[in-house]
Amino acid sequence: MIITGGAIAQPSPSSTTDYDPTASLSLTIPFGAGGIRDFGISLNLLTTNEENAWMGGAGVTFYPARDNKLGCSVIGGRNFTNSELHFGYDFCQKVFNFGVGVLDTKGEDSVEVLQDSDIRLKQDVEQIATLDNGLKLYSFKYLWDDTTYVGVMAQDLLQQAGYRDTVTTGNNGFYAVYYSRLGLKMVTLDEWQQDNTSIFL
């Protein structure tokens, strides 16, 4: 199999990106007379691990300077690269707070992208190649798009035990594929014709 760099894939209009809820560990400081002397250590559950994105969540805080009291907060803020900044309200201690935390974020280059790959969503389908590993490549158009793409078919992958974990059911109820798990990316037919190795990561 020939593998080289190539053109950047053009995502279909219904591709989705996988981000997940995550946890952060933060230094939390309550607003009030004690200030930073009343700091706490918080474990927070956040709605997303997306980098450079707004998030919400909830946290449990241990306040060593407040007689080892526990707090329970609702928070909101923003994720940065492997860090987060948030503001919140502690219902247990009845105080507003802010915190700076660390977490494992995902940027656009590190997430898995789901690509619609169900034959029921495609038209003008034609097999154009078979890779050395047995994967069949097709040219096709989506029902909602005039662009011709080159990629795999979810139904083919489901018939091969080694590739079934690359297929899932999308939010629209149709099959979608994690192309990166195949070492591939979806490209346009024009890109494929200019360089038929452009489909490989």
Domain termination site, one of 69, 102, 135: 102
**What are the residues facing 160 on neighbouring strands?**
none
Does residue 165 fall inside a structural domain?
yes
Is residue 130 domain-shared with residue 60, that is, in the same domain?
Answer: no
The three-state secondary structure class of 10 is: coil
SS3 57: strand
Its pTM stands at: 0.51
Contact (CB, 8 A) for 111 and 92: no
Model confidence pLDDT, tens digit, residues 40-72: 999 999 998 888 889 999 999 998 877 778 999
For position 35, what pLDDT does the model report?
55
- The type of residue at 116 is D
In a domain, 39, yes or no: yes
43 inside domain: yes
Give me the pLDDT at residue 112, please. Answer: 66
User: Cα Rg for the chain, rounded, in angstroms?
Assistant: 23
Is residue 73 in some structural domain? yes
Residues 6+ away with beta carbon under 8 Å from 49: 19, 20, 21, 22, 79, 103, 104, 105, 106
Residue 182: per-residue pLDDT: 92
Provide the domain count of the chain: 2
List Cβ neighbours of 193 (8 Å cut-off, separation of 6 or more).
Answer: none
Residue 138 structural domain: 112-194
Report the C-alpha gap between 116 and 155 in whole angstroms.
12
- Do residues 29 and 90 share a domain? yes
Same domain, 128 and 178: yes
Residue 22 bridge partners (DSSP)? 46
DSSP 7: P
Say how far apart CA 102 and CA 87 lie, in whole Å: 15
Going by C-alpha positions, the residue among 145, 147, 146, 127 that lies closest to residue 137 is: 127
So what's the pLDDT on residue 123? 95
Given a cut of 70, the residues of the chain with pLDDT beneath it are 1-19, 33-37, 107-112
pLDDT for 5: 28
Is 152 among the domain residues? yes
